[in-house]
Amino acid sequence: MKRLFSILLVSTISYAGSNQEIKLNGLTQISEKLAFEMINSNKDDLNQVIKNFYKMGYFSNIDVIDDNNTININFIEKPFIVNIEINGYKTREEDLKELHKMMKIKKGSMYTEKRINEAKTILLAELKKEGYINSVIEIEKTFLTPQNMTVKFIINKGTEVIIKKINYLGAKKLGKEQFIENTANKEEDTISWWFGHSDGVMQFNQVEYDSYRIKDIYLQNGFLDTKVDSGFSKIDFNTNTAEIDFSIQEGPKYKLNDIIIYTDETIVPLDELMAGIKEQKNKVFNINLLRKDVEFIKTKIANKGYAFAEVNYDIKKNKENQTADIIFNVTPGEKVYINDVIITGNTRTLDRVIRRNVYLAPKDLFSLTDFEDSKGALNRTGFFQKAEIKQRKVSPNLMNLIVEVSEAPTGNLIFGGGYGSYDGWMINASVNDKNIFGSGLDLGFSLDHSSKKDTAKLSLSNPALNDGIYNGSFSIYKDQSIIEASTDDLITGDKTTDVAGGSIGVGRSIGRHVRVGAIYALDKSIVTYSINTAANTNYLTSSITPYINFNNTDSFYTPRRGIIASESLQFAGLGGNAKYLLNTATLKYFYGFNDLIDYDAIFRYKTTLKILQDLGKVPEGKTFYLGGPTSVRGYQSYAFQPEDETHPYTRYLTNTFELSFPMIPKANMRWGLFFDYGMIGENNFTEITKAGYGGLVEWQSPVGPLQFIFSRAISPDPTDKTSSFEFSLGTSF
């Protein structure tokens, strides 16, 4: 009604006096210059001018007031959305951001009923896709000022539809279990709430894709003629249950007859390509192997600089013989060179530190292996929460590499305390930064105090001296530990060991995953007894430790693939009175299931082998211990140690198996299950064998890796020191 009144009034004014002054009030979205241009373009028809203003969509009302010789045009603009809330549906920040993109509204958007209703429709569709029917969304609007408002979507999720039965009509040659493992929609299990069982919630948006997944399973087993119709859902809205039918025509199974590759052999010889092909003649055709073969060929060609190479294939079937030929057509395109490497997201880490981990530089010929290795190297540094490298085509023979990094907190200042199951009350203070000033240098200083131990350590290491292949390290340390006398040691009393010393090391990289080097260490140990002071001893240890390390994992914080292996041999006897040989070997293996089952579960395996050999004199306290978070959980730290210091344990072997699962991804929290098995002895590995199992919660906290361990010993002896709960700060798998 106001709008109509305004238009009629303007019409009257336009005839009343064409020389009147016009004033514009309330404009923020368009300039007065643009507004006057619109008015002047139709100065004889202000009625049309007002219509044109409304068409712009910025205004909820326009009033025109004739004040003697002045025409005041008052604009009331539509309000702006300063905040959007979604309650009752999804809480992860990443999910909410994705929803806002889908809803096509964001902070700063102008409010319109149409826009809000469209967003509501999109939300309802998403709810239905996830199995919620008859959902209700209420819109709550709050005006902070006449021009600013918040919009809240209050979601009452409807009832989920539960799948009671899935019928695979026509399936005779493949079993139902093969389909269930690979489809998104699954029947409700009898004990649906149990870990690993299906709750049967129907995912409407996945029914169509499940048809393709079923067909893909047939293609993996050689059935090239299989047809799978889109799933037909029968829903009972009275009980909110469903039954799904998939109609399948299987056809015959095909074996592979021949493999033909059309390629330019001057780039990669045909024999070299054929040697890496996984599909095999006279074997059942498998579409998964074919896909891997495509990637293999593309990688081999791309490693020669043909970044935009295309590998297409054709399958020629012989229905009479039930055989198939695979024909690959390779189109290499032009050789591609790197135009530029552009680094973004690094607010702290220096560009040169990032560039030394990127194995492609301007003017280099592109290599897909170098490209993938660069991503792994960046993520292994531990400097970034995430590092990605993207290709951007500049021309047929040039590309830019866009390195996108998200900085991780690499430095911390800690002052705190706690209670440990072995050391009692503890106080610790430390300053540590593994990327000090963004230089890649690792600097650390720590002080720790407990009732049984005092330590101080200063260390500095550089993983790439002058950004090259050499690395160096330096440390000084002081350590005092007290072992309280047991019943058998009352004659000697408590033993105190004071160790002070330092080390310096140098090494170099061999390739991209291997490092070799050596560390020289010199320290002095003073062992004193509270009762029998005649047993006090001093040791001077001068040692050299050559080592070799291998690491091809994909992440520093949470590896999901790859191996970490190390071997070191400490020789003590370069002067001083300590003479021994210590061999230490460690292997860690990681395997992520995300690509296999679309779930971020990780299998981890770790084994550590240590052998101590007496070459003349092994210092007291130089022995192995078993038990605790770093060896066999379920037993207290140092639960198994030699009864007599003159007969140290010189053989040590532990094995750890873990399954890790996501808990709160946004907070970098995970939970897991574990099984530990360890062996220790003086002359052989089997003098003491212990095992434990349990669960854990791990958190990549701002102060370092933190673990809460809930464990249980397997078949412990009555005198064993067991432990059901421990926590560990600063150690991870």
Q: Is residue 26 part of a domain?
A: yes
Q: Taking a C-beta distance cutoff of 8 angstroms, is the pair 407, 345 a contact?
A: yes
Q: For residue 154, give Cα distances in angstroms to 104, 128, 135, 140, 567.
A: 18, 16, 11, 7, 58
Is the model's pLDDT at 14 over the cut of 50? no
Q: Are residues 191 and 210 in the same domain?
A: yes
Q: Is residue 713 part of a domain?
A: no
The pLDDT, as a whole number, for residue 488 is 54
Lookup: tokens for 657: 């198996």
Q: Are residues 201 and 215 in the same domain?
A: yes
Last residue of a domain, one of 132, 156, 180: 156
Q: What total number of domains does the chain contain?
A: 5
Q: Are residues 45 and 99 in the same domain?
A: no
Q: Is residue 323 part of a domain?
A: yes
The pLDDT, as a whole number, for residue 60 is 73
> From the centroid of its chain, how far is CA 132?
29
Q: Are residues 219 and 268 in the same domain?
A: no
Last residue of a domain, one of 156, 171, 198: 156
Q: Is residue 114 part of a domain?
A: yes
The pLDDT, as a whole number, for residue 433 is 82
The pLDDT, as a whole number, for residue 212 is 92
More confident: 492 or 322: 322
Q: Are residues 360 and 386 in the same domain?
A: yes
CATH of residue 166: 3.10.20.310
Q: Is residue 548 part of a domain?
A: no
Q: Are residues 49 and 128 in the same domain?
A: no
Q: Are residues 149 and 195 in the same domain?
A: no
Residue 155 β-bridge partners: 137
> Which of 61-65, 120-124, 257-261, 331-335 has the lowest average pLDDT?
61-65
pTM: 0.64
Nearest to 602 by CA among 696, 679, 684, 677: 696
Given the structure tokens 């997201």, which residue do they identify? 345
Q: Are residues 189 and 230 in the same domain?
A: yes
Containing domain of residue 316, as a range? 255-331
Q: Are residues 8 and 73 in the same domain?
A: yes
Q: Is residue 17 part of a domain?
A: yes
Q: For residue 193, give Cα distances in angstroms to 182, 282, 692.
A: 20, 45, 27
The pLDDT, as a whole number, for residue 428 is 66
Please, which residues have CB within 8 angstroms of residue 477's CB and are 6 or more apart in sequence? 455, 456, 457, 458, 499, 500, 501, 502, 523
Q: Are residues 217 and 268 in the same domain?
A: no
Number of H helices, E strands in the chain: 12, 34
Nearest to 435 by CA among 556, 519, 590: 556
Q: Is residue 382 part of a domain?
A: yes
The pLDDT, as a whole number, for residue 2 is 37
Q: How many CB atoms lie within 10 A of CB 378?
A: 21
Q: Is residue 493 part of a domain?
A: no
Q: Are residues 17 and 38 in the same domain?
A: yes
Q: Are residues 84 and 73 in the same domain?
A: no
Is the model's pLDDT at 57 over the cut of 80? no
Among 99-113, 328-342, 628-642, name the most confident range.
Answer: 328-342
Q: Mean pLDDT in the chain? A: 85
Nearest to 508 by CA among 481, 458, 472: 472
Half-sphere exposure for 311 (CA within 13 Å, toward CB) = 22
Q: Taking a C-beta distance cutoff of 8 angstroms, is the pair 531, 490 a contact?
A: yes
Given the structure tokens 């992860």, which residue do they identify? 92
Burial 99-111 (b: 16+ CB within 10 A, else e): bbeebebeeebeb
Convert the pLDDT of each residue in 361-401 to its tens digit.
Answer: 999 999 999 999 999 999 998 888 889 999 999 999 999 99
CB-count burial class (<10 Å; 0-12, 13-18, 19+) for 368: buried
Last residue of a domain, one of 22, 46, 77: 77
> What is the distance between the alpha carbons of residues 684 and 544, in angstroms, rounded to a whole number?
26
